Structure 1
Amino acid sequence: MDGLAIDRQREACEKIAGNRGWKVDEDSYYVDQSKSATDKTKKRPAYDRMVADFKADRFDAIICWDLDRLTRQPRQLEDWIDAAEDRGLQLVTANGEADLATDGGRMYARIKAAVARGEVDRKSARQSAAQNQRARQGRAPKGVRPLGYATNGDVIPNEAKAVREIFRLFAIQNGPSIAALAAGLSGKTGDHIPKSLPHLPKHTRTLMMERNERRQIEGLDPRPVPDDGPWGSSTVLGILRNPRYAGYSVYTDKKNRINKNKRRTWFSQVLRDDSGQPVMGQWDAIVEGYTWHVVQERLDDQSRVTNRTGSTARKHLGSSLYLCGICDEPVRAHTRGYRCAGHLIRSRSQVDGFVLRIARERLSRLDLLDAVPLADEPRLRDIQLRILEHQGRIKRAQHDYDAEIIEGMDLKRIRARENAAIADLEVERLRLVGGSDLKVILGAEDPLVAFDGADVAIKRRIIDYFFTVSLFPHPRGRKAFDPSTVKVEPKRRSSTGTIGPLTQRAP
């Protein structure tokens, strides 16, 4: 990326043109810096422009540093051979001439292209083996560092804090959408945008600034730094999908990968040992394993996958949370109110204001700490390990079936048994995790201040945890708000504390 190799190649090619008396226009240079000719899926803009210019008869000869600088794809080479035969294209390389107009020259070009392709395949195999070995040893993979981690696997505190908050918020049932999380990282504000997320510069900008620091130490000129801008939803999705944050070692065998679903690609990259257990990395996890799995479940939720609006966050306090007092079905947001078709339409501001007053009164009580849900973290870890054990048994049974050790009916029976056990464990895990996000408010030094400054998703969780809210039709002809038409009933929970009667009884 320092451009020095490009300069050397350019000088050698210009010398050949001068020796042959060929004219080279200013727009006759085609440079794809750091664009591999190996991967046929990669876009090479300058190469594509060169192909278009040749078809438009803008040149009749090509000078390149080496044949594999032009292409490493046999199919593309055959196109240039056809051009030499049909239109007299001349091709010159700096380390020897490849005359495509002769049988010997074409054979040389084909052999060289095949050798180059073979070396690419061998290099790829060596790199894949090395990456697989690193992953099985639990060492941090090489390449671009993810947000929150240094290249050696060390945790970067301020970035890790943002990553934890991203996972915590998205793990909340009906919590903020990926777009809202991206907006929060970008420093934007709004009712549906989390206020607890720190504003960070775009990760690509941070990475380039770090690279320039290394270039300066090496005595090289800095490269252009991209402007700061809003975070993209795809970047946040990549963070939420990355198993490395939960401490899992990852590896992807691209050639043998069966799962092509991009939404599930990260989950399939968790490396497992011979017994089917996940390989843990040597780095410190930023989020708990069960939190990562809860996030994957929300990402895999079909209601999100099929959502065409791009938003999964509730923007109104009572939408799908309040119930219709007539049919007990959730009400929906409707213009400036809440609506249950055929039963009622209520003013949103009046109802929300009343419910928020009751919620604030509950949060001001001295016995609030008795209602804080306590997640049994050792039990959560034990559940996660047991789930992985059952998944490992299914994988071993599949291996035995492929090896013709067991019959299809045995595989089906084992799958049914292990999946049933997994389902029971998932129910218990979700029950334990369900109230962990409430600690942000209930465990705060001043719960009222924390509640007032929270986003809509957190306020909804507090209300849903403490109360059942039912709406009834408002009397006709009466403009003033009637509290008797909103029924707020406290919920009682024996497993995580008892919520007693309100000091101010709700209608």
Structure 2
Amino acid sequence: MTFEWLARSSVCRDHYRSGGVEKRDESRPAGLIPVVSYARTSEDIRQRDGHGVRHQLLINERTAHEHGCRVVEAYSDNGLSASRAGIVRPEFNRLVADLVRGHTDSGQQIEGVVCVADDRLYRRAEDLAQFFEALTCRPGRVYVDAEGVRDPYSQDGLMQAVRSLNAAITETRIRSRRLTDWHWARAVEGVPHSGPRPFGWREDRITLHPDEAQLVEQAITDRIEGKAIRAIARDWCDLGATGTRGGRPNAQTVTQILTAPRVCGYRANRGELLLMPETRQPVLGQWEPIVAPDQWQAVCGTFSPGSLYLHRGSGAPRLTGKRKPAPSRLATGFLRCGAERPDGTMCCGAMCAQKGRSKRSPYVYACRSCGRCAISGPLADETLEHLLFPETPEHTRLPESVRQRWQSGEMSLEEKRGVIASVLTHCIVRPGMKGSRVWDYSRLEPVRR
């Protein structure tokens, strides 16, 4: 950060070129300079009473009085960081807007700002430029802190602001590094994660919760044996299980519980499985494990790379390097739901294979978006074959040799799916008649390439 960069602001540059503070508005009555006060704290976790910003505003009142100013308006952002991008500070934005228009909501004229320290106002270059442009958009204003009255238009005033910014950035990096090292050291010692207690353990995060731990252990066994994660989540809901924050289990949260390294006693840090520097062996936590490491690795391997269920914050790699399992049904990925939404549009959600409830339809394809459309699996697969190889050969786009290999059983499922993809982009599945026992082949509408 340099003064030349900051001087790109046209207003700041014009004031700098003019040679310093312009003459103050002589129409203002003689006396104390009207200034606005700003306060900010990054956290207010322990007491949650705003005592930090309240104390800063009191200090600002004293500082203003000591330097011939009076506070006409106060702005405070409690528990908001100024060093992270994307954090909205409503009162800082209101302060900047009032500086630009030159008066407060009550009509009080603004001729300066008082603050306990520069880093309360800005810790990022964007905020520094925004604040100084608003402050110096009118002539004769001042900036007041514990060191006294500063001239924001002069080179020295701008350079002091830049130095304060650089110091704040350096301090932020040092604190971040210290915090990272502190978390790493705790993790290497096997200390449990902070925050809400993990599902399956008591409040001490060491001792197993008997009921929850049993649910996790059984769910891992069921998942390894092929049970759908959504079915496991439904079972938990039927049993009345709730998360440690009181929420109902869903597929994603159940997956996060089952694939967390803590279930087998491993410790993770910053999204990676933590390994001892000397032995490269996983760090063991101080808590009681629910399952053995090989069971944890097995359940992680049941989820394919990029699975939405695995999206989470911290944790460890939950994949064992196994290949993504190929679809086990012919029409998987080619069917789209044709049910009508309340707004009149078509759902078009992907339909996935699920276990059926009858011998005639041992599996079905159901919409996972709206849940209002399903079709017999054998019916859909048979209809797809009929669309590829109609009774009139002149309507087919495939060679006769492909038909012979398909119908003779020589073609693998993967090859058959490749043939479908070469002819169709997908098929729309229209909702069927509830209770009908007649297979309606017209329910599938092909969308050809």
| TM-score with structure 2 setting the length | 0.51
Report the counterpart of residue 37 of structure 1 in structure 2: 82
Cα separation, partners in 2 of 1:62 and 1:309, compared to 1, 3 Å: farther
Taking the aligned partners of 1:45 and 1:12, their CA distance within structure 2 comes to 22
Report the counterpart of residue 169 of structure 2 in structure 1: 117
Taking the aligned partners of 1:270 and 1:97, their CA distance within structure 2 comes to 52
C-alpha deviation, 1:249, in angstroms: 1.7
The SS at the match of 2:163 is helix
Q: Which structure carries more strand by proportion?
A: 2
Matched, 1:136 2:140: no
Higher alpha-carbon Rg: 2
The SS at the match of 1:100 is coil
C-alpha deviation, 1:113, in angstroms: 2.4
The SS at the match of 2:72 is coil
Report the counterpart of residue 19 of structure 2 in structure 1: none
The SS at the match of 2:269 is coil
Report the counterpart of residue 67 of structure 1 in structure 2: 118
Percent of aligned pairs sharing the same letter? 24
Report the counterpart of residue 295 of structure 1 in structure 2: 299
The SS at the match of 1:291 is helix
Root-mean-square deviation (Å): 4.4
Cα separation, partners in 2 of 1:70 and 1:286, compared to 1, 3 Å: farther
C-alpha deviation, 1:181, in angstroms: 5.6
The aligned runs of 1:145-224 (5 Å cut-off) are 145-149=197-201, 153-157=205-209, 158-165=211-218, 167-177=220-230, 187=237, 195-196=238-239, 198-200=240-242, 203-204=244-245
Please give the per-residue CA displacement for 1:439-470, whole angstroms capped at 9, x wherever unaligned: xxxxxxxxxxxxxxxxxxxxxxxxxxxxxxxx
Report the counterpart of residue 9 of structure 1 in structure 2: 56
2:158 to 106, 112, 116: 106
The SS at the match of 1:134 is helix
Which structure's relative contact order is higher, taking Cα pairs within 8 Å and 6+ residues apart? 1
Checking the alignment, whether the CA contact within 8 Å between 1:182 and 1:232 is kept in structure 2 is: yes
Q: Which structure carries more helix by proportion?
A: 1
C-alpha deviation, 1:230, in angstroms: 4.4
Opposite residue 82 of structure 1, the aligned amino acid is E
Cα separation, partners in 2 of 1:290 and 1:95, compared to 1, 3 Å: farther
Structure 1 unmatched runs, 5+: 188-194, 205-227, 253-265, 323-329, 345-478, 482-507
The SS at the match of 1:299 is coil
Taking the aligned partners of 2:351 and 2:113, their CA distance within structure 1 comes to 51
The SS at the match of 1:120 is helix
Cα separation, partners in 2 of 1:75 and 1:248, compared to 1, 3 Å: same
Report the counterpart of residue 268 of structure 2 in structure 1: 250
Checking the alignment, whether the CA contact within 8 Å between 2:365 and 2:375 is kept in structure 1 is: no
Taking the aligned partners of 2:359 and 2:291, their CA distance within structure 1 comes to 30
Please give the per-residue CA displacement for 1:124-143, whole angstroms capped at 9, x wherever unaligned: 22222232222223333445
Taking the aligned partners of 1:144 and 1:113, their CA distance within structure 2 comes to 35
Structure 2 unmatched runs, 5+: 1-44, 105-109, 310-323, 325-332, 334-347, 367-372, 384-435, 439-449
Report the counterpart of residue 381 of structure 1 in structure 2: none
Report the counterpart of residue 11 of structure 2 in structure 1: none
Structure 1, 45-54 or 79-88: larger mean CA deviation:
45-54
Checking the alignment, whether the CA contact within 8 Å between 1:142 and 1:151 is kept in structure 2 is: no
Taking the aligned partners of 1:232 and 1:84, their CA distance within structure 2 comes to 51
Matched, 1:282 2:286: yes
Checking the alignment, whether the CA contact within 8 Å between 1:30 and 1:50 is kept in structure 2 is: no
Taking the aligned partners of 1:247 and 1:22, their CA distance within structure 2 comes to 58
Checking the alignment, whether the CA contact within 8 Å between 2:184 and 2:269 is kept in structure 1 is: yes
Cα separation, partners in 2 of 1:336 and 1:123, compared to 1, 3 Å: closer
